[in-house]
Amino acid sequence: DTAVSQTPKYLVTQMGNDKSIKCEQNLGHDTMYWYKQDSKKFLKIMFSYNNKELIINETVPNRFSPKSPDKAHLNLHINSLELGDSAVYFCASSQSHEQYFGPGTRLTVT
């Protein structure tokens, strides 16, 4: 069984569009994250969220917003997509220190 899953695996869209990436975890964890991996493979936190607290990395544009319908899901909504948003986006979850990552969503903005 997949612990942390993301859909879609690949997403190709045009500038200016609005898109969403879904994340689900079946580990019973209480904290979920979104990370961005750029073309140089550098991984950087975007958001961390549990039912009590949303922490937003100050460098993340407000076009990006996390939405959590329940404890097992943390979706990422992106408005007005830009070329620079092209990257691989990873969802992760944790209960303590150990974070477990999903397979990633490769977003390409044309």
- Least Å distance, CB 85 to other proteins, is 19
> Residue numbers of the site for other proteins (CB under 8 A)?
4, 31, 33, 35, 40-45, 48, 55, 57, 90, 94, 96-104
CA-wise closest residue to 78 among 48, 51, 103, 47: 47
Our separate counts of H helices and E strands in the chain read 0, 11
- Least Å distance, CB 39 to other proteins, is 12
Which residue, 92 or 109, is less far from other proteins as judged by CB?
Answer: 92
Give yes or no for a cis peptide into 8 (omega within 30° of 0). yes
CA atoms within 13 A on the CB side of 35: 18
Which residue, 4 or 76, is less far from other proteins as judged by CB?
Answer: 4
- Least Å distance, CB 110 to other proteins, is 21
